[in-house]
Amino acid sequence: MPFKYELHCHTKEVSRCGGFYAADAVKLYKDAGYDGIVITDHFAPMTFSPSTVWRPHKAVDFYTRGYKEALKAAGDDFTVLLGMELRYYATANDYLVYGITEDFLKSNGNILSMYPKRFYRLAKKNNLIVVQAHPFRDWMIRINPKHLDGAEVFNGKSSREANENAEKWVNETGMKIRVSGSDFHRPAQLAKGGIITETPIKTNDDLLKILNSGDYELIKNY
């Protein structure tokens, strides 16, 4: 029995561009036949007020609101995991990070100022996966693959050409991990991406194991 999981989903509670509250997103994905979602709200300068910059506990309490509301709505038959779409200060690139916890976010200061090389070292110490999101969208700059595990080779908001270029980039650089995500904000992006697995994903460890193994199929719905 195959299982379907969304790897790029935003909520209105946290992402200013989000179009749906977390509970509604859970219902929509359940109705679309998915078995779970990773909440990847924007962890970016635009997300937080200036007063939270050096108060990580306050910032994280705000950041996890959508995730916690999704958990409440999920029930026992639907998986909700915490991820993030990270953007550093004064940059346009976005990075999807899988495997994070509240404790990780509260214990490592202001990660918005770390930038790719330093953050990747921290991610590897904590067994996280970091992929560049929609790397061929306008204004994106592909970074050194040494500071990435892979890339989002299908993004539900990107053009076919941009997605194909992302796949080609991963092939050329030899990066290990390819992911697909709907980049869900609005109805037009619902259930466009994600992964299909033969084993259920219930925890961060399950997700990391699956992604590292490559034992999954990408969902690509244009």
Residues 198, 105: Cα–Cα separation, whole Å? 31
* Structural domain spans, the chain: 3-220
Regarding the domain with residue range 3-220, which homologous superfamily does it belong to in the CATH classification? Answer: Metal-dependent hydrolases (3.20.20.140)
CB 162 within 8 A of CB 114: no
Tokens of 114: 């770390």
Q: Is the pLDDT of residue 202 over 90?
A: yes
pLDDT of res. 53: 63
Residues 198, 211: Cα–Cα separation, whole Å? 13
pLDDT of res. 201: 98
What phi and psi values does residue 149 have, to the nearest 5 degrees? -95, -20
Q: How confident is the model at residue 203 (pLDDT cuts 50, 70, 90)?
A: very high
Per-residue model confidence as pLDDT tens digits over 8-63 = 999 999 987 767 999 999 999 999 999 999 999 999 998 887 766 667 778 899 99
Looking at residue 140, its amino acid is M
Per-residue model confidence as pLDDT tens digits over 166-179 = 999 999 999 999 99
pLDDT of res. 54: 66
DSSP run (H or E) holding 177: strand 177-181
